[in-house]
Structure 1
Amino acid sequence: MSTTPQPHTQLTTAIQTDRAIIVGDPARVDRAAPLLTNAQRVADNREYRSVIGEYRGQRVLVMSTGIGAPSAGIGVEELKNVGIKKIIRVGSAGAMQAGIGLGQLIIAEGVVRDDGLTKQYVPAMYPAVPSFELMALAHKYAPQAEYGIVRSHDGFYMDNNAETEAYWSSYGIIGADMESGALLTIGRLRGLATLSILNNVVLYEGDLAAGVNRLVDGEALMAKGEEDSLRLALAILSDESLRA
């Protein structure tokens, strides 16, 4: 563990907690802060903005990682270096099945590692799976969420996106994002407990740009889904069973 600032996140062991929430958008850190007691800004460097505070008496860090697996992977590695042992991603996703509504929570039971970064760590056959303990708590607090396999990928604008999404949808994949695979894979390799909670912002076969724009604009369903996902992550990380 490091008492000197990490090169990208600028965090040190002075955070004095072993649990964190990671989000993509730095603005989401600002929206998470009011949910915490005594929230204080810790660092703000590149895409990595962080605040720390308390929730139900438990000290929790919230940090952004920007877009994609590489920056998320750096964030996970540096969190581990400063003593973090439990990480929950709170992010956004596009639905890969009909019937998953806007703002619905999607929780990854496993991830298809369709990114480039994690294959630099381990072969593609290595599974990306969450912590059983954190997953059990997700079921406790959010039994109504959509649970299943998510696909993590590296981009939005490839010419064959529609065909690729139809292919994975046919195998029962329920959602797509860009960071969950990195979190679950690197977390497992580094001995961390991890979980990914995603807020659906695009209906299956819906307009990606319109969905993302609605999230930025704070449309009611997506805004509620974002708050629900943050509150769920905080409830899990502050559960009494994790305090032993």
Structure 2
Amino acid sequence: MENIHLKKVGAADLGEVTLLVGDPARVELISSQWDTHQLVSENREFILVTGTWKGTTVSICSTGIGVGSTEIAIIELIRSGAKKLVRLGGCGAWNDRLSAGDLLFNHAMVRDPGMLHQYVSDTYPAAADPDLLAQIKLQAENSGFRVHTGIGMTTQSYYLGQSREHGISNGPQPNKNWMDYWKERHVLNAEMESAVLFILASLYQISAANCLVVHVNRLNEQWVSDQDYQAIHQQAAKLVLDACVKIQ
């Protein structure tokens, strides 16, 4: 079956690991550091590049934001022969132990009811591959990053679904108690894609993990600058690839 979005992509076009990024611009930011890189597919928000990193063939694909587009990218990558998938993205932290610019690895995700219910019931766990996660975490620690692990939340909403103000007075407003509810249950962060990756990877039996850059701590609104944020993503991509190359 030919892909509808990642057009004409097959197993020969994918590396030993495929990084997943939300922002299409981050594909070039990261792949430009590789020994070689070549555009494989570009359609809508989906850009796929494959190249070599320290002698190993690797890939990177943009997914866009949120559940719907990420499901498309992951399904078509798995169908095309992807071997390992690692989401390299950002998140907002809900714990004062985490600072903007830290790295966070989620071993499991809470998720909104109904997310991907066509694939599996809401009670099915959204969990990372423990061996892949452990190897990437170790590489991050050895690279000198402040590193955290724990349970996160994947939401289908950026504003009210993450208890954010949206600045519109006539309509629904954020539930101020919503973040506190999940903080009390030791959920460390919120983002919009990891649960989709973990569920689909578990169902279709490939290894998956995430490596998230803390863009903001929501408790004190401490943000990392956009310039530093992109630089951290570049460093994080290198350590993820180094970890994945080691475990081939």
Q: TM-score, normalised by structure 2?
A: 0.87
SS in 2 for 1:118: coil
Q: How many residues align?
A: 231
Range that drifts further, 21-30 or 98-107: 98-107
- Tell me the distance in 2 between the aligned counterparts of 1:156 and 1:76: 21
Decide which structure has the larger Cα Rg and report it. 2
Of the candidates 175, 186, 193, which is equivalent to residue 189 of structure 2?
Answer: 175
Is contact 1:115–1:153 with CA below 8 Å preserved after alignment? no
- C-alpha root-mean-square deviation of aligned residues, in Å? 1.8
Hey, what does 2:4 align to over in structure 1? 7
How do residues 137-216 of structure 1 correspond to structure 2 at under 5 angstroms?
Answer: 137-143=135-141, 144-158=146-160, 159-207=173-221, 211=223
1:230 to 229, 237, 245: 237
CA distance in 1, matches of 2:70, 2:220: 26
* Within-5 A mapping of 1:1-244: 4=2, 6-10=3-7, 11-114=9-112, 116-143=114-141, 144-158=146-160, 159-207=173-221, 211=223, 218-220=226-228, 222-239=229-246, 241-242=247-248
Q: Secondary structure at the match of 1:197?
A: strand
Q: Please identify, of 41-50 and 12-21, the stretch whose mean Cα deviation from structure 2 is larger.
A: 12-21
Confirm or deny: 8 A CA contact 1:9 1:44 kept in the other structure: yes
Letter in 2 for 1:219: Q
Deviates more, 1:64-73 or 1:153-162: 153-162
| Structure 1 residue matching 2:118: 3-state secondary structure | helix
Partner of 2:117, secondary structure, is: helix
Check the 8 A contact 1:116/1:154 in 2, yes or no.
no
Q: Is the 8 A contact 2:213 2:232 kept in 1?
A: yes
After superposition, what is the alpha-carbon deviation per residue over 1:163-201, rounded to whole angstroms, capped at 9, x for unaligned? Answer: 222211111111111000000001100111000110111
SS at match of 1:107: strand
Q: CA deviation at 1:160?
A: 2.6
TM-score normalized by structure 1?
0.88
Cα distance in 1 for residues equivalent to 2:48 and 2:179: 33
Q: Which amino acid aligns with 1:233?
A: V
Runs of at least 4 residues off by over 6 Å: none
The Cα of 1:65 is off from its aligned counterpart by 0.2
Query: Structure 1 pair 115/104, CA: closer, same or farther in 2 (3 Å)?
Result: farther
For 1:102 and 1:163, how far apart are their aligned partners in 2? 23
Residues 64-92 of structure 1, C-alpha deviations (whole Å, 9 max, x = no match): 00000111111111011111121000000
> Following TM superposition, by how much is the alpha carbon of 1:25 offset from its aligned partner in structure 2, in angstroms?
0.3
1:27-54 CA-partner distances (Å, limit 9, x unpaired)? 1101011221111111110110111111
Unaligned runs of 5+ in 2: 161-172
Counterpart contact for 2:87–2:211, Cα < 8 Å? yes
Q: Percent identity?
A: 28
Cα gap change, 1:117 to 1:70, in 2 (>3 Å): farther
Residue aligned with 2:95, SS: coil
Supply the AA of the counterpart residue of 1:149: I
- Residue 5 of structure 2 aligns with an amino acid whose one-letter code is H
Partners of 2:207 and 2:134 in 1: CA distance: 12
Question: Is the 8 Å Cα contact of residues 55 and 234 (structure 1) preserved in structure 2?
Answer: yes
Structure 1 residue 228: Cα displacement: 2.6
Structure 2 Cα separation of the partners of residues 118 and 206 of structure 1 = 33
Structure 1: segments with no counterpart, 5+ residues: none
Greater share of helix residues, 1 or 2?
1
**C-alpha displacement of 1:161:** 5.0
